[in-house]
Chain A
């Protein structure tokens, strides 16, 4: 594994031992190191909220800011936004990304992502060169009321061709999710947060090309192990693994990291 420079686009402070954001980040980094992970992106607070009020949103982001201050350059933050609170979200985006160290946006299940309410957030994130991670799932058991599908995200991607959008979990039901996002070159498939079902990564690389596939774990709810296995165990060539495990994320983040004085 030492031959790969592995970056994880998807970690949380939830589901990790520790009383404070700092303690939890330390714990994450400790396990990450054991499996050869170099850097982590972290988003959302210690307690989760599906539809956070502006105050809760700020609190979550504050916790992430505290955590990443612990390990500058090793842990990066994405700002958690709620499209149902447009102005508060724009204010958070400015506070945490324009004026702060964060480099991406996390959108979860407050609202379906094809809604017009996302447009100002995506536009502003793109101006700031931040990448946008949108959770998606396609559940045969039924989605949450505001939970986006990969098809919703494909609509959003078509409206914002200049934005870099990450399809979280590749839709969970990845055999369908990958096909839903395939036509949109600005959409990236993230592998994390689901079972390590064999064939996932091979199909993602086959349909989207290795350049559009990103490793992420969804730790602490998931183990780094099960999620890394999707790439390390996949029947794809090493150069493709290198892209999926970190090369692509570094390429996507390079402009905003450069703006923040971090040269890769």
Chain B
């Protein structure tokens, strides 16, 4: 109990510092970037899709936080939005979120930003959301509807989106963690059915929603409609196809696309090489690498 209190106090102080620094940075850089992206600014890289801890069905090369941090830093990542892999199956999400916060602070100061997990079907989730916002000063939360057993037309989900928007939390919605064809036979989960999202966005206009691992299944008209319904963003971890980023940017505004790696479940290099494979303007590159994520988190 006392350890928990101590760590929360430490974390609050640490994250207050980080959050303030990040927002100042964003405020000072934003006008420069929208006017003319400079080489130096586009060097920084914000990965909105990393995870800490262990995947239940496999050990991964970077599933120890210090190793992941080292990997990300060497790859030039300047900020990474981290959820916990424990969140998919653990029921004590309070402990998961606390460990996530401590790990980010202990090993990834200035780099890792924790995104806690909430299951709106479970008791007392509003209190967990409060802790994520007020005690851990998280920039947002990461939701796993397929592992947490609800559909997006569930009223509890709509309420969670509203409360998160009221607290100015970014909501990350995970569409998939892995290819459904190679899930463990006892860990098979249904795909997220995104149809209700567009009207939920219209009902919650202040919400900022980031879809993780969505581009495997969400494409074409359905994707464009959803992006047009509000402040909705996608990232490129599960984007496929030769020249995939170029093809995506021909369909959707570059202001809505973020850099995401899905490390350590995926090789980090995949997302990075996608930026190299597609010919991008300096402005597009800067938007994807960091400017969009910076603008998004500055509003948090």
Contacts and interface: CB of A to CB of B under 8 A. Distances in A.
Interface in B248-285: 263-274, 276-279
B289 to A, nearest CB: 15
B277 A220 contact: no
A194 interface: yes
B269 A233 contact: yes
Contacts of A235: 61
Contact of B270 (A27, A173, A199, A229): A229
A129 interface: no
From B60, B242, B244, B278, residue with most partner A Cβ within 10 Å: B242
Interface in B171-201: 178-185, 188
B277 A198 contact: no
A175 B185 CA distance: 13
Contact of A31 (B61, B184, B243): B243
Interface residues of A, number: 39
Specify the main secondary structure of chain B where it touches its partner: loop
A228 interface: yes
B240 interface: yes
A226 B181 contact: no
Nearest to A33: B277
Interface string B230-249: 00000000111111100000
A226 B274 contact: yes
Given A34-B277, A229-B267, A235-B61, A172 B242 contact: no
Contact of B242 (A15, A173, A194): A15
A27 B61 CA distance: 34
Contacts of B130: none
Contacts, number: 119
Contacts of B179: 172, 194-195
Specify the main secondary structure of chain A where it touches its partner: loop
A220 B267 contact: no
B276 A198 contact: no
B269 A232 contact: yes
B183 A140 contact: yes
Contacts of B270: 196, 225-226, 229-230, 233
A220 B179 CA distance: 18
B62 interface: yes
A197 B62 CA distance: 12
B220 to A, nearest CB: 15
B267 A140 contact: no
B279 A223 contact: no
Contacts of A130: none
Nearest to A201: B267
B267 A139 contact: no
A141 B180 CA distance: 7
B59 interface: yes
Contacts of A137: 181
A1 to B, nearest CB: 9
From B59, B277, B278, residue with most partner A Cβ within 10 Å: B277
From B181, B188, B243, B267, residue with most partner A Cβ within 10 Å: B267
From A28, A34, A198, A233, residue with most partner B Cβ within 10 Å: A198
From A16, A35, A195, A235, residue with most partner B Cβ within 10 Å: A195
A198 B265 contact: yes
The 6 closest A-B pairs by CB, nearest first: A225-B273, A233-B267, A229-B270, A229-B269, A233-B269, A196-B270
Given A195-B179, A230-B267, 5 more contacts: A35-B273, A140-B184, A172-B181, A224-B273, A229-B267
Interface of B: 58-62, 178-185, 188, 238-244, 263-274, 276-279
14 contacts: A27-B243, A34-B276, A34-B279, A35-B273, A140-B184, A172-B179, A172-B181, A194-B182, A195-B179, A219-B242, A222-B240, A232-B273, A234-B267, A235-B61
Interface of A: 15-17, 27-28, 31, 34-35, 137-141, 172-173, 175, 194-199, 202, 217, 219-226, 228-230, 232-235
